[in-house]
Amino acid sequence: MKRFRFGWIGLLAGLWVGWGQGDAFAQKIYWTDVLNGKIQSANLDGTGVTTVFDAVSVLPTGFTHPARPAFLVVDPKGGWIYWTDLWSGVHRVRLDGTGYQNIVPITPVTIPQHTFPPDRTTTILERPDAQGIALDPVRNLLYWGPDHPFESPLGSPYMNPPAEGGHVRMSNPDGTAVVDIHNTGIDGYTSALALDMTRGKMYFSSPTSNYYPTGNNLYRANLDGSNKEIFYHGNGNCDPRDIKVDEAAGKVYWNCFWAGAVMQQNVDGTGNKILASVSGPGGIALDLGAGMIYVLESDAGTVTRRNLLDGTLDAVLVTEATANPQPRQNCGTDAAPDPCPFYPQGIALDLTVPPNPDMIVSGLTTSATTVALGADITVTDTTKNQGTASAGASATLIYLSNDATLDGADRQIGGRPVEPLIAGSSNSGTTTVTIPSNTPAGTRYLIVVADGGKAFPELNENNNTWTKSITVAAPDFIVSALSAPTRASVGSTITIKDTTKNQGTFAAIASTTTYYLSTDAFYDGGDLVIGSHTVPTLSSGASYNGFASYTIPQSTVRQTYYIIARADAGLAAAETNETNNTRAFKITVK
């Protein structure tokens, strides 16, 4: 089957690379056969092909659409396989195929009659198409989406009232506590989702569309959904679907389905190149330790393995004959049934090799114990592998917390790569992080997490953190006094005097107090600058008396004005309160 496209059903999808545990299910390849509704696995050499779960077996009674398992992620540590279905939401099952749950079910939504491309007229929204799925192993959260921006019952402009589609959502692994973290992620078809925990980023793609806006983009945003940007534009010939991130090397990989290519680009946007030319590439998965990339050739119906260095073919692991998914769904019509071909689209690896490493932070120092808002602090840590096996490359991450316990509310403010460590060895490094300017002043905590990206399983996943308290302090500028003549004539020169005070708990850097002439007592951008003076460094509680002269132009309208003094007018320092910096004085110009 060449260039198969679901059309009105939606796009196929790729799979995220999971991490493993030392059990009977370790050292496995997992993939979805999207046309036949199967989740299958094999050993890393392609032997022992097994159908782990048949999604057709759990279709609800009366459900009129086929099973279409798309994106998938494997959590061997927790013992689950998670996947999205084009029609029926988010699902999970145990690694042995038992314990199935539809953790995010989909409820159809009635809408006013509308015709969707190419010619489907309906009054029901029932296809979420929320294909992307990924795990945040640090906070144990599940990311999924974006859903379809027009046809999803989770959000559509055709609902009454209208709602937005194209959202990325986050939930607990059991599907509870769903949070909408990114709106209008895409404007056409949906596809893959990948996380870069080291840099606090997520990637998602918008492939080619025959009927909706042609995206052909890879997007990148922060993990909280902010600061969306185009990471790669395909110029109409890529059709990007699956995405994988090599966090340690700072590289992003994706497939261009229509262009028949597997692509590579550095996280800074440089080094774009074709890694391999592949007919109809589906999902991709990285085995960084072995220097391999697994590529599903969806059109050809094969699971392959290639060298990550140059993209050359290493082995064809699984074919139509060895996969042999049974029973098969129908890809023909009721009148002319045609069993679906083997069509692997997503892939995930469990690379667990027991015994395991055990990563800890064995030492931690900081350059200061008190730090100002918006200022830098240097964090030096020693990351150690105290386990019984070598550890691959990892990342030590730094979080800022209101308490001493790491949770989902904590903010990642930095991190550093850690080289591979043999058992018993350590690696020390220094990271400079910035305290965000919106951090509340007071006692806060730096939580440093070894193997923060969960690059591999460990003997103990609960001993990876070291917590150190710091005091976050900031200045707070006010104008405590302001004086000038109460009356003045046009053409005359007046002297304006003020006292600028730092009433905060931290020394303030040099700043500028600026005077404005206003028709009211409230500063805004339209007020006229009439003078300023420099304020030197002020310790906590210190004040500075300054002045400036101003000659009132002859053209000035004779009326009542206000002289407004604004401390730190140039915003030189982050403050605990940015709204109390002004003071007004009334003057009559005659």
List pLDDT tens digits, range 319-328: 999 999 999 9
Please check whether residues 319 and 176 belong to one and the same domain.
yes
Please check whether residues 217 and 336 belong to one and the same domain.
yes
Determine how many CB atoms are found less than 10 A away from the CB of residue 469.
Answer: 13
Closest by CA to 168, choosing from 157, 152, 179, 153, is 179
Maximum average pLDDT range among 57-61, 253-257, 308-312, 372-376: 308-312
Question: What pLDDT does 119 receive?
Answer: 85
Question: What pLDDT does 351 receive?
Answer: 86
Higher pLDDT, 398 or 88: 398
DSSP code of residue 321: H
Question: What pLDDT does 14 receive?
Answer: 33
Question: What pLDDT does 243 receive?
Answer: 95
What tokens does 492 get? 């005359």
* Lateral strand order in the sheet of 426-434: 359-366, 376-385, 426-434
Higher pLDDT, 522 or 346: 522
Domains: count for the chain: 3
pLDDT for residue 208 is more than 80 = no
- In degrees and rounded to multiples of 5, residue 578 shows phi and psi of -95, 5
Higher pLDDT, 438 or 189: 438
Question: What average pLDDT does the segment 196-213 reach?
Answer: 82
- What is the per-residue pLDDT across 56-111, written as a single tens digit (0 to 9) for each? 998 877 777 889 999 899 998 899 999 999 899 999 999 999 999 999 999 899 99
H or E, element range at 329: none
Please check whether residues 391 and 533 belong to one and the same domain.
no
Closest by CA to 423, choosing from 383, 392, 464, 385, is 385
Determine how many CB atoms are found less than 10 A away from the CB of residue 496.
Answer: 23
pLDDT for residue 15 is more than 60 = no
133 domain-assigned: yes
Please check whether residues 150 and 203 belong to one and the same domain.
yes
Confidence of residue 415 (pLDDT cuts 50, 70, 90): very high
Choosing from 445, 473, 501, the residue where a domain stops is 473
H or E, element range at 323: helix 320-323
> Taking a C-beta distance cutoff of 8 angstroms, is the pair 331, 341 a contact?
yes
* Average pLDDT over all residues of the chain: 89
Distances (CA, A) of 118 to 6, 9, 121, 165, 211: 12, 11, 9, 19, 7
60 domain-assigned: yes
- What is the per-residue pLDDT across 522-540, written as a single tens digit (0 to 9) for each? 999 999 999 999 999 999 9
pTM recorded for the entire structure: 0.59
* Gyration radius (Cα) of the chain, Å: 30
Residue with tokens 């931690």: 364
Burial of 77 from C-beta contacts in 10 A (0-12 / 13-18 / 19+): buried
What tokens does 330 get? 């129908």
Distance separating alpha carbons of residues 159 and 289, to the nearest angstrom? 48
299 domain-assigned: yes
Closest by CA to 533, choosing from 510, 512, 502, is 512
> Taking a C-beta distance cutoff of 8 angstroms, is the pair 464, 138 a contact?
no
Distance separating alpha carbons of residues 202 and 194, to the nearest angstrom? 6
- What is the per-residue pLDDT across 496-520, written as a single tens digit (0 to 9) for each? 999 999 998 888 899 999 999 999 9
Choosing from 454, 473, 492, the residue where a domain stops is 473
Please check whether residues 236 and 381 belong to one and the same domain.
no
- What is the per-residue pLDDT across 120-150, written as a single tens digit (0 to 9) for each? 899 999 889 888 899 998 899 999 988 888 8
- Beta-carbon-side half-sphere exposure of residue 418 (alpha carbons within 13 Å): 33
Question: What average pLDDT does the segment 571-582 reach?
Answer: 88
Please check whether residues 460 and 551 belong to one and the same domain.
no
Choosing from 418, 452, 473, the residue where a domain stops is 473
Give the CATH number for residue 556: 2.60.40.10
- 3-class SS at 1? coil
Question: What average pLDDT does the segment 546-563 reach?
Answer: 96
Please check whether residues 375 and 329 belong to one and the same domain.
no
Residues 6+ away with beta carbon under 8 Å from 146: 130, 132, 165, 166, 167, 168, 182, 185, 186, 190, 193, 204
Question: What average pLDDT does the segment 353-358 reach?
Answer: 81
Distance separating alpha carbons of residues 340 and 294, to the nearest angstrom? 23
Distance separating alpha carbons of residues 303 and 552, to the nearest angstrom? 81
Please check whether residues 267 and 159 belong to one and the same domain.
yes
1 domain-assigned: no
pLDDT for residue 13 is more than 80 = no
199 domain-assigned: yes
Distance separating alpha carbons of residues 189 and 182, to the nearest angstrom? 16
Question: What average pLDDT does the segment 395-399 reach?
Answer: 97
141 domain-assigned: yes
DSSP code of residue 103: E
Question: What average pLDDT does the segment 359-371 reach?
Answer: 96
- What is the per-residue pLDDT across 254-305, written as a single tens digit (0 to 9) for each? 998 888 999 999 999 999 999 999 988 999 999 999 999 999 999 999 999 9
Distance separating alpha carbons of residues 374 and 393, to the nearest angstrom? 31
Per the structure, the complete domain to which residue 417 belongs is given by 359-473
Question: What pLDDT does 21 receive?
Answer: 36
CA 37 to chain CA centroid, nearest Å: 29
Give the CATH number for residue 95: 2.120.10.30
Question: What pLDDT does 307 receive?
Answer: 97
Please check whether residues 71 and 21 belong to one and the same domain.
yes
Question: What pLDDT does 515 receive?
Answer: 97
Q: Which of 284-288, 329-333, 433-437, 579-583 has the lowest mean pLDDT?
A: 329-333
277 domain-assigned: yes
Question: What average pLDDT does the segment 338-342 reach?
Answer: 93
2 domain-assigned: no
Please check whether residues 178 and 267 belong to one and the same domain.
yes
Higher pLDDT, 168 or 213: 168
Please check whether residues 363 and 451 belong to one and the same domain.
yes
How many angstroms separate the most distant Cα atoms in the chain? Answer: 97
Please check whether residues 495 and 550 belong to one and the same domain.
yes
Peptide bond into 112 cis (omega under 30): no
